[in-house]
């Protein structure tokens, strides 16, 4: 079964954020102008996603994946017990990760901007906050990628492909959760 899930704005946001964050974290020198430009691009992307989370439709809306610890616990129990349920939109654990990453990127952006101001130039705690948030984001991204690969294998749904094409291809026998 094939379901249209991710609209172009969600997909372009996702892969643009991946590219800009990876470039800034791994390749671009932190003291360069390009680092700042990419940082502002990331702020713009997050701003767009926040707007789209309220103005978009379907699975793009934050209302379709509220942070829900009970549902996340149920999903963890599914994983532990081997029960395979396919979530058409974001999974509950995935939703928590999305909110984590959006908040962490906002902290990175705010602390990065603060380091460019006269008030906070050279202030150690701002630099430490920025570096800790970047480290947290990197660990979160690694966990996110591992979880996506695990869930893809466990449920039989190619999640990276779905984020490229917009369609989730769900096995016929799958138990689907909205």
- pLDDT tens string 48-81: 999 999 999 999 999 999 999 999 999 999 999 9
Q: Among candidates 35, 32, 13, 16, which has minimal Cα distance to 24?
A: 35
The pTM (predicted TM-score) of the whole model is 0.92
Of the pLDDT bands very low, low, confident and very high (cuts 50, 70, 90), residue 102 is very high
Q: What would the DSSP string read from start to end of 9-47?
A: HHHHHHHHHHHHHHIIIIIS-TTSHHHHHHHHHHHHHHH
Q: Would the pLDDT of 178 be above 80?
A: no
Question: What percent of the chain is helix, strand and coil (3-state, nearest 5)?
Answer: 70, 5, 25
Q: What are the structural domains of the chain? A: 2-177 (1.20.950.20)
Phi, psi values for residue 28, rounded to 5°: -90, 130
């Amino acid at each position: 079964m094939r379901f249209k899930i991710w609209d172009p704005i969600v997909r372009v946001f996702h892969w643009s954020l991946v590219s800009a964050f990876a470039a800034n974290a791994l390749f671009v020198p932190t003291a360069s102008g390009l680092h700042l430009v990419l940082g502002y691009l990331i702020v713009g992307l997050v701003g767009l996603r926040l707007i789209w989370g309220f103005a978009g439709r379907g699975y793009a809306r934050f209302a379709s994946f509220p942070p829900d610890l009970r549902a996340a616990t149920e999903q963890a129990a599914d994983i532990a017990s081997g029960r395979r349920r396919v979530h058409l939109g974001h999974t509950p654990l995935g939703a928590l990760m999305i909110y984590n990453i959006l908040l962490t990127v906002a902290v990175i952006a705010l602390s990065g901007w603060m380091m460019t101001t006269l008030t906070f130039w050279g202030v150690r705690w701002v630099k430490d906050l920025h570096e800790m948030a970047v480290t947290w984001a990197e660990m979160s991204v690694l966990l996110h990628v591992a979880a996506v690969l695990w869930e893809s294998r466990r449920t039989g749904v190619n999640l990276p492909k779905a984020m490229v094409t917009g369609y989730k291809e769900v096995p016929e026998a799958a138990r689907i959760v909205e």
